[in-house]
Structure 1
């Protein structure tokens, strides 16, 4: 099962279909991935450790360490490099690709493996990472198991977790408003950043619910359940917006207080400087008068 907060969430198009792709690196030595069809909401997942990934790259003849492979995978998802590309293939697509390569080597393609495993692999997908160098193309396949459409109960659990986060933030803001020090702008900035992250997470969840709503549109009971979840998500988003506006107002008030204090500090420094000059001037006058009287006595 994918972690609640993946390292990377993006949308990719494979063969004209849009997919929501989530990628998560766990403890620096394990890779989790999830691919969701945006139209049907069908989902495929995989979880592999560093040894498995490095073994796959070793079999291709172009070995890559785990961290390098995951960097290439991120580059393919974000399309930041022309050398790396991604594709999503079915088992039949993969067999056709293998047979084409075997025919190119004048080998006899085997169909027995396909016949024996067609039932167990018909719903499996393969995320193919292709690394193109000057004279060669290396394909790294990642098998992904079929999970079906997402469970509404799982989405509801995530919504409950987000509700708890919103309540906790609101409580923190309430306490902060009751006893608010003028030098605590860093804490408000952290709260504001957390609210923004929560809003982004809610947006992603709202998209998932919307696609799930399309897939279950023919079932009235599911429609009613999804409608309730969408209402909860919308309510959460409104709460996050209100909390963000409260933070902005508090930050603005802090900035105004800071400007007033700075102005008062400047005025105090000017007054002190003037008093100091006057004191020095009086002292000089008294010294001069004393010197004149002493000289006359002499």
Structure 2
């Protein structure tokens, strides 16, 4: 991953679907996961020194940019050699004991509440005879604020609307249509010149040997030179247009990926907001019911 890049993927860990967001900005790696069922969130930020020290401790050192690229490949499932897993502290201790040859399971009463709530995103690097686990600790953030969720949903929907209405997509399609039309015109001119040259060559070859028409040969020579120039010009123009079209297609593909990511994010935030609203409604009913139980009864004498 390059500086300033970000990705968001929905990944299933142990039967539970999570939204995973990874971002590299200002020399920091940011990892955030959200439970799409409960709306719980975990987040961690890591600088290059932490990542490189972490990889050095595993015995398989990776530089910060390489580690970020491996994390991206694992999240996008671009390679079988790198995968992701999500563990609790107890799961992580069990994994460590297993690698160390210890059978006993870590005791739960020794774990603090913060440690229990923390999650670990594990980057698993599989080599020929070993598997290396890089754990990234993610402290628990809690559930998102409903007002903040609504603001983010509105902002994402506005950005999505700007992308899909009359924005860059339409301009890119119009530019590609113009380039295709110009390319077709150049090909047509090339075919016309080739036909004219062929006819003149046939006329020159059919004249008698004793009466060589120098004017015809001059015209033929001129047309041949013009055809060579037009071919070169057409090839340069076609190459330039193809390059421009390729760049436009890449931009269009990036916009489509951005649009898809925004749609996924809007869906995720809408689900989280609905869960929070249901929780607030249930809490309100509980308080009303509890308050009514403790109200004094009035007796008539």
Counterpart for residue 93 of structure 1: 91
Q: C-alpha offsets along residues 9-57 of structure 1, whole Å, 9 cap, x if unaligned?
A: 1111110111110110113x21001111111111111110111000000
Counterpart for residue 16 of structure 1: 15
> Within 1, Cα distance between the matches of 2:254 and 2:132?
41
5+ long unaligned stretches in structure 2: 168-177, 180-243, 283-301
> Displacement of 1:192 after TM fit?
8.8
Maintained 8 Å contact 1:102/1:109 = no
Of 118, 121, 135, the match for 1:124: 118
Of 258, 263, 268, the match for 1:208: 268
Counterpart for residue 81 of structure 1: 79
Counterpart for residue 233 of structure 1: none
How is 1:54-203 mapped onto 2 (pairs within 5 angstroms)? 54-103=52-101, 115-162=109-156, 199-200=259-260, 202-203=262-263
Structure ranking higher on relative contact order (CA contacts 8 Å, 6+ apart): 2
Q: Measured at CA, do residues 165 and 50 of structure 1 come closer, stay the same or move farther in structure 2, by a change above 3 Å?
A: same
Counterpart for residue 7 of structure 1: 6
> Within 1, Cα distance between the matches of 2:158 and 2:59?
49
Q: C-alpha offsets along residues 230-250 of structure 1, whole Å, 9 cap, x if unaligned?
A: xxxxxxxxxxxxxxxxxxxxx
- How many pairs were matched up? 206
Superposition RMSD on alpha carbons, in Å? Answer: 4.0
How is 1:234-249 mapped onto 2 (pairs within 5 angstroms)? none
Counterpart for residue 175 of structure 2: none
Of 42, 54, 57, the match for 2:40: 42
> Within 2, Cα distance between the matches of 1:166 and 1:134?
44
> Within 2, Cα distance between the matches of 1:69 and 1:10?
18
> Displacement of 1:101 after TM fit?
2.2
Maintained 8 Å contact 2:160/2:262 = no
> Within 1, Cα distance between the matches of 2:252 and 2:105?
60
SS in 1 for 2:117: coil
Q: Measured at CA, do residues 156 and 97 of structure 1 come closer, stay the same or move farther in structure 2, by a change above 3 Å?
A: same
Q: Measured at CA, do residues 98 and 23 of structure 1 come closer, stay the same or move farther in structure 2, by a change above 3 Å?
A: same
> Within 1, Cα distance between the matches of 2:274 and 2:139?
23
> Within 2, Cα distance between the matches of 1:14 and 1:8?
18
Q: Measured at CA, do residues 110 and 212 of structure 1 come closer, stay the same or move farther in structure 2, by a change above 3 Å?
A: closer
Counterpart for residue 201 of structure 2: none
> Within 2, Cα distance between the matches of 1:64 and 1:196?
32
SS in 1 for 2:112: helix
